[in-house]
Structure formats: C-alpha cells, structure tokens
Amino acid sequence: MQNIIEIECPPELLIGLNTNAENMAQLVRREAALGLFRDGRISSGMASRWLEIPRVAFLMDAMRQGIVLLDDSEDDFRRESQL
C-alpha cells in the first residue's frame, strides 16, 4: 500500500526554481529523507528505499550535503583503539 501526501506549492515557487511539480516533489522527498536521516529518525537503508536509489548513492549524497555519517566521540575512539 502506498501513502500519498499532498502539499500546496504556489506556482511562483515552481517558476522561481525553474521546475515543475514532479521535480519539486522529488526535491522535497530527497530533502525530507536527508533531514530525517541526519536527525537519526530513519536509517540510510530506509532513506535509499524511499528514494529508490542504491544505499551507497544515498550515503554519498548525504556526505556531499555535510551530513556526518559516524558521530564518534573521543571516548568512542579510545575504546575502539584499545580493542
């Protein structure tokens, strides 16, 4: 079952971005997936399935957007280094 969410988008926004409704929907979906992943609310696997792209492609895109993939602290590094 597919869930569809509709949002209003003024024509001026589409014109200003030089895009159409379909491309805008893809942009909004991509930005939502990146944001939810960045906030730790969905996994990279879930995001890539939602966007219908390979997981590696999603992770590369996330890194290009400055999203930190591994948030290790100094304590984590020390603990891992001792192993």
Tell me the whole-structure pTM to 2 decimals: 0.79
Evaluate if residue 12 carries a pLDDT over 80.
Answer: yes
**pLDDT at 50 (0 to 100):** 95
Amino acid at 16: G
Amino acid at 65: Q
**pLDDT at 80 (0 to 100):** 65
* Helix-then-strand count for the chain, H and E: 5, 0
Amino acid at 54: P
Residues 34 and 47: beta-carbon distance below 8 Å: yes
**pLDDT at 14 (0 to 100):** 95
Delimit the domains of the chain by residue range. Answer: 11-82
Q: What is the pLDDT of residues 16-74, one digit of tens each?
A: 999 999 999 999 999 999 999 999 899 999 999 999 999 999 999 999 999 988 766 77
Residues 44 and 62: beta-carbon distance below 8 Å: yes
What's the sign of the alpha-carbon dihedral 12, 15, 16, 22?
A: positive
